[in-house]
Structure 1
Amino acid sequence: MFLLVFFILISHSSANSVFEFCVADLSQPRGPSGYACKDPEKVTVDDFVYSGLVDFNNAENLSSTLLHNVHTPQFPGLNGMGISMAQERLMVGEVVPVHTHRVSEVYHVLEGTMLTGFIGTDNKAYYKTLNKGEVIVFPPTLMHFLINVGSIPSFATYTFACETPGTQVVNNAFYGGNLPSDLVEKITLLDPSLVHKLKKLFNGTN
């Protein structure tokens, strides 16, 4: 009996060790559960280290907002870990418009003063001005926003409960895609001339 239990424990431990990590093989397409695993024999410590945030000036420039995502495509070692992050620098007065993610998000202000908030499904708004060092959590799927209301550029980190959280900006969804204008008018209750103006502003079609 002792030997039987011993071999079961050893087998269980060996099986688990196979799945301790799954470094993404970015040469393969991404599926619903993530990327395929890189050959473990080819995995090195560098797969678990990311240096892309050392020089933040290399960040992606979005509407003069400096944003650097650290998701699986940028950091293959995150694959299967259920976490990811981003860094952002926002100029004075700039806004991150209303958007959503499929998972929860923790937002940490490292520099500056940010007005942040989210809107519940009952349409109640929860918002507050955060100062350096303060943190807010945005529940999954709820619309939220960020505004630099301070006197200096802000600097913050985001942490997500997913390797690829996805982002959908509400205005882009309605006015930046291929949703026909007449349909946008019906579902938003907006005047046709305003829909046309918004479509043009967000480079939408139709």
Structure 2
Amino acid sequence: MFLQIVFLLSFLLSTSHATVQDFCVADLKSADGPAGFPCVPPAKVTSDDFVFAGLSEAANVTNIINAAVSPAFVGQFPGVNGLDLSAARLDLGPAGVIPLHTHPGANELLIVNQGHILAGFISSSNVVYQKVLKRGELMVFPQGLLHFQIAAHKRKAIAFAVFSSANPGLQILDFALFASNFSTPLIAQTTFLDPDLVKKLKSVLGGSG
């Protein structure tokens, strides 16, 4: 028993000075990779690297969707690098809408801060799960599934989203189809939409082809 205690104490003493990497503040001057950005040297890290004020102010919602998303992903908030965590602010004017979109790299947790938001997602079995959320209520959106948020009751709304990745990615379905160079004949063929309607939507969103 005595020898076991001595061995345990020796082991603890030998590992007590081992280096533990507590964080990896992103060096945004370097290239992003599968494992994230390289780390800023710890000696150059300050408290400000772990604080982000970019979600404190409302964004301008004067646009076609009457809404705006302010991200706090690794590109804006280097302190989340490697932590599998990021956030965003959603500002929605009356009847504002965040169109159908996906986050290929993360699950999302939406927290309503003001107003009411009709939110929902479509499962891979084509079942729609939707709910009108009020202040303080949360909803989850599984990774990769199409989902949306709409300001309800003709009033503005604010929500905050938390993601399970420092870089969740974003692809908006309408923009992918009608703000890109995806050709009109192919869109019509793959979506069964009328070509004239496709052209009209492309003219609105700035697409070509």
User: What is the rounded CA distance, in whole Å, between the counterparts of 2:116 and 2:184 in structure 1?
Assistant: 38
The equivalent of 1:85 in structure 2 is 87
RMSD of aligned residue pairs (Cα, Å): 2.1
The equivalent of 2:78 in structure 1 is 76
Change in Cα spacing, 1:79 to 1:62, as seen in structure 2 (3 Å) is: farther
Amino acid corresponding to residue 74 of structure 1 in structure 2 = Q
Change in Cα spacing, 1:183 to 1:14, as seen in structure 2 (3 Å) is: farther
Q: For 1:7-55, what per-residue CA distance to the aligned partner results, in whole angstroms no more than 9, with x for missing partners? A: 65456555551x211000011111121111001111111111122233x
User: What is the rounded CA distance, in whole Å, between the counterparts of 1:15 and 1:178 in structure 2?
Assistant: 53
Matched, 1:97 2:95: no
Q: CA deviation at 1:79?
A: 0.4
2:85–2:165 contact (8 Å) kept in structure 1:
yes
What does residue range 162-201 of structure 1 map to in structure 2 within 5 Å?
162-201=165-204
Select between 187-196 and 119-128 the one with higher mean Cα deviation. 187-196
User: What is the rounded CA distance, in whole Å, between the counterparts of 1:119 and 1:84 in structure 2?
Assistant: 23
Select between 141-150 and 172-181 the one with higher mean Cα deviation. 172-181
The equivalent of 1:150 in structure 2 is 153
1:72–1:79 contact (8 Å) kept in structure 2:
yes
Q: CA deviation at 1:101?
A: 0.5
**Gaps spanning 5+ residues in structure 2: where?**
none
How many residue pairs match? The answer is 203
Say which SS state the counterpart of residue 166 (structure 1) adopts. coil
Identity %, equivalent residues: 38
Change in Cα spacing, 1:30 to 1:11, as seen in structure 2 (3 Å) is: farther
The equivalent of 2:31 in structure 1 is 29
Bigger-Rg structure (1/2): 2
Moved over 3 A (4+): 1-16, 59-62
TM-score (norm 2): 0.88
Change in Cα spacing, 1:132 to 1:159, as seen in structure 2 (3 Å) is: same
Say which SS state the counterpart of residue 88 (structure 1) adopts. strand
TM-score (norm 1): 0.89
